[in-house]
């Protein structure tokens, strides 16, 4: 179950890979006024949310594939047992 959701480490790694790391960590570093800073932080949060959503979808595809593979192996084993 813990593999189903993207971990913060995975999100951070994806952000670094795709250059999505915030340029500024504080409003003081940015020199932005309050309205611009709020817009900037909302955009960064939206990008992080999208990253999390994409990683979660990828994880869910992996879980589905694994479940299907397990079901196929189990079915094959059951068929082998029925033949004997």
As a whole number, mean pLDDT of residues 9-18 equals 70
**Domains held by the chain: number:** 1
Domain holding 38, by residue range, is: 8-18+32-83
**Which letter does DSSP use for residue 21 in this model?**
S
Asked whether residue 23 is assigned to any structural domain, the reply reads no
As a whole number, mean pLDDT of residues 52-80 equals 92
pLDDT averaged over every residue in the chain = 84
Asked whether residue 65 is assigned to any structural domain, the reply reads yes
* Residue whose C-alpha is closest to residue 50's, from 4, 14, 81: 14
CA dihedral 56, 12, 21, 17 (to 10 degrees): -80
Structure tokens at 47: 């990008």
As a whole number, mean pLDDT of residues 6-22 equals 69
Q: How many CB atoms lie within 10 A of CB 29?
A: 10
13 — pLDDT class (breaks 50, 70, 90): confident
pLDDT at 6: 60
How many whole angstroms separate alpha carbon 45 and alpha carbon 16? Answer: 15
Asked whether residue 48 is assigned to any structural domain, the reply reads yes
67 — pLDDT class (breaks 50, 70, 90): very high
pTM score, two decimals? Answer: 0.56
Asked whether residue 25 is assigned to any structural domain, the reply reads no
């Amino acid at each position: 179950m813990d593999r189903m959701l993207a971990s913060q480490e995975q999100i951070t790694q994806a952000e670094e890979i795709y250059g999505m790391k915030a340029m500024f960590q504080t409003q003081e570093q940015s020199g932005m006024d309050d309205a611009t800073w709020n817009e900037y932080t909302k955009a960064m949060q939206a990008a992080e949310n999208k990253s999390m959503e994409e990683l979660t979808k990828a994880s869910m595809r992996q879980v589905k594939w694994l479940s299907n593979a397990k079901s196929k192996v189990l079915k094959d084993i059951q068929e082998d047992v029925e033949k004997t």
